[in-house]
Amino acid sequence: MNIDPARYEVALLDMDGVVTDTARVHFAAWQRLFDEYLATRTTSSGAHDRFTEQEYRRHVDGKRRTDGVLALLRSRGIEIPLGYADDGPERNTAHGLGNRKDAYFRELVEANGVRVHEDARGLLDSLRQRRTRTALVSASRNCEWALRHTDLGELFDVVLDGLRADELGLAGKPDPAIFLEAARLLEAEPSECVLLEDAEARVRAGRAGGFGWVIGVDRTGHAEALLSSGADEVVTTLFDVAVQEATEPRDIRTLPAAVSHRDRIVGRLGTAPLLVALDFDGTLAPIADTPSEVKLPHRGREVLRRLAGCSTVAVISGRDLCDVREKVGLSELWYGGNHGFELAAPGGEVFVHGAGEAGVDDLDAIEARLRNQLVTPGIFLERKRFALAVHYRGVADEEVEDVTRPVYDAAADRETVKPTTGRRVIEIVLNVAWDKGAALHRLLERVRAAANDSGFVVFYAGDDRTDEDALRVVHDSGVGIFVRSSEHADHLSWAHYVVDGQDELTDVLGHIASNRAGGIR
């Protein structure tokens, strides 16, 4: 089972029974209380049976103390008054009995300490390493106090216990209020949180609160009850839960919006030197009917200028190198043309892929052939140094297959070239193992060598199938953004986040620049 840190911003962990072994201590304290109290009451058939673990889970676990007292006694046909919060432990009110149980619990903790579940410690370490924020959430009014008997305090960004919940007037479980408050404190939507819970009432609360993933933790053999309470899945040990980036591309409709996670993106990039690599068409510049009409918006150029002042910036495009360099017009950037087949450093030094000119003669021949064959309105050729793009943006969907067939036929006749596809374009490219992922690796090598620093972290944004190779490269160690449009529908992406259009991307880039300005390059 894997928590994908790109998908889940926050992990909410219950304390008793999930992180610490205190559920057992709570049960022992409750058992002592109820056995003592029930001995003073009789049923029509004689003495009450001992308080059991099943009753603990069903009526008490995960609830506020007074709610637990009233629920258990009611199940035994006993009604007692609620009483007052400061009722002494000798008073037979819900508060009084609850306070007596509390005294027993503290006695046990002080005598034996608090045992931490080692699997929980391991999971917390992994969550912290992947920068997933963590909250310890407990209905227990003793949570903070018991936490002080462990060495885990540093591992939680937020601790929210029964005491604080009462101060805030939050309803007890199965109401999800306490979990919702923890998510709010960590600035996450419930859908962005994974909840790890061992109590059935709290699993129900998690489900009711709309939390993204509810994992039941079954340390006592009640997996079925956790599942029927609404757990998505159940584990018997947290050693079975890993924290890793997803191993499959994701449907862009399920990706989180980058604009709502700008601080998180800045956090994920950390403080290492930064390489911001960006695609051009459809990413920095809006799509137009023809390539020559495309313009980089003023805001986009300004944000690139700002970013270049505090990080290394590269634009990697399917266009020819000279074309993309002219469209962007900033001399301080790196540029990749023909999907990075050509690479230019800011000083102007150009590196061309070794397989360069081989196959260019075939491109010439195919170009000549297609110029004669492709006469349908709406389709046109764009010849580039190492590729031939066939644009069909002006062709109706139902005609595309017929109209573009000659392109595939022409490419099939030559071994030195192959067809690839992009947004309303087929590109005949050189038949070498090359894509934007390879280009990004090559760029990173050059940038590291130029800076004499091997520690760069990479940010990449793109909008096309060809960009997925680069997004795949940054998936495990950098940050990737997919720039979505109405053309994309259910596209699968390696990106971590999505933006809708250039304005949103510019906002995110601006936020990165603001946080980097004056800091480390």
* Residues 256-285 interacting with ligand L263DTV3 (rule: CB under 6 A): 279-282
Residue of 83, 190, 230, 318 interacting with ligand L263DTV3 (CB under 6 A): 318
Query: Exactly one of 178, 269, 294, 310 binds ligand L263DTV3 (CB under 6 A); which one?
Result: 294
For the bound state, the minimum distance from the C-beta of residue 473 to ligand L263DTV3, rounded and expressed in Å, comes to 15
Catalytic choice (279, 323, 435, 463): 279
Instruction: From residue 439, give the alpha-carbon distance in Å to each of 155, 376, 473, 514.
Output: 39, 34, 10, 28
Measured at CB, which residue is nearest to ligand L263DTV3? 318
User: Which CB sits closer to ligand L263DTV3, 173 or 436?
Assistant: 436
Integer Cα distance of 466 and 64 in angstroms: 55
Query: Cβ of residue 384: shortest distance to ligand L263DTV3, in angstroms?
Result: 6
The answer to the question of residue 288 lying near ligand L263DTV3 (CB under 6 A) is yes
Residues 423-442 touching ligand L263DTV3, rule: CB under 6 A, are 423-425, 427
Closest separation between CB of residue 449 and ligand L263DTV3, Å? 24
CB of residue 329 to ligand L263DTV3, shortest distance in Å:
15
Q: How far is the CB of 493 from ligand L263DTV3 (least distance, A)?
A: 15
Q: Judged by CB under 6 A, which of 17, 162, 209, 291 binds ligand L263DTV3?
A: 291
Residue type, 233: E
| Closer by beta carbon to ligand L263DTV3, 211 or else 392 | 392
* Residue 519 beta carbon to ligand L263DTV3: minimum distance, rounded to whole angstroms: 29
Residues in binding contact with ligand L263DTV3, number by CB under 6 A: 24
Sketch the per residue contact string, 353 through 392, with ligand L263DTV3: x for CB under 6 A, - otherwise.
-----------------------------x------x-x-
Q: Distance (Å, rounded) from C-alpha 160 to C-alpha 140?
A: 9
Measured from the CB atom, the residue of 190 and 422 that comes closer to ligand L263DTV3 is 422
Closest approach of Cβ 281 to ligand L263DTV3, in Å?
3
C-beta atoms surrounding 251 within 10 Å: 11
Query: Which three-class secondary structure state does DSSP give residue 163?
Result: helix
Q: State the DSSP string of 411-447.
A: HHT-TTEEEEEETTEEEEEESSS--HHHHHHHHHHHH
Using rule CB under 6 A, residue 206 touches ligand L263DTV3: no
> Does 502 contact ligand L263DTV3 by CB under 6 A?
no
Given the complex with ligand L263DTV3, which of 299 and 465 has the nearer CB atom? 465
Site for ligand L263DTV3 in 130-169 (CB under 6 A): none
Query: Does the active-site annotation cover 279?
Result: yes
Given CA atoms 284, 288, 294, 296 in this order, what sign does their dihedral have? negative
Shortest reach from residue 505's CB to ligand L263DTV3, in Å: 13
Helix (H) or strand (E) holding 47: strand 46-47
Q: Which is nearer to ligand L263DTV3, 262 or 391 (CB)?
A: 391
Q: Which two tokens stand for residue 344?
A: 């230019």
**Which two three-digit tokens encode residue 220?**
């006592």
Q: Please, which residue, 387 or 508, has the CB nearer to ligand L263DTV3? A: 387
Q: What would the two tokens of residue 10 be?
A: 């926050």
> What phi, psi does 451 have (nearest 5°)?
-95, -5
CB atoms within 10 A of CB 244: 13
Distance of CA 6 to the CA centre of its chain: 2
CA separation, residue 21 to residues 17, 49, 111, 252 (Å): 5, 26, 14, 40
393 belongs to the binding site for ligand L263DTV3 (CB under 6 A)? yes
In the range 213-242, which residues lie near ligand L263DTV3 by CB under 6 A? none
* Closer residue to ligand L263DTV3, CB minimum distance, 13 or 389: 389
Q: Which of residues 457-486 bind ligand L263DTV3 (CB under 6 A)?
A: 464, 466
Helix H segments across 133-245?
Answer: 143-147, 162-167, 177-185, 200-208, 223-228
Q: Which of 516, 467, 451 is nearest to 307 (CA)?
A: 516
Distance CA 237, CA 152 (A): 18
Which residue pairs, CB below 8 angstroms and at least 24 apart, start in 297-300? 297/502, 297/506, 299/503, 299/506, 300/502, 300/505, 300/506
The residues binding ligand L263DTV3 (CB under 6 A) are 279-282, 287-291, 294, 317-319, 382, 389, 391, 393, 422-425, 427, 464, 466
Annotated catalytic sites, by residue?
Answer: 279
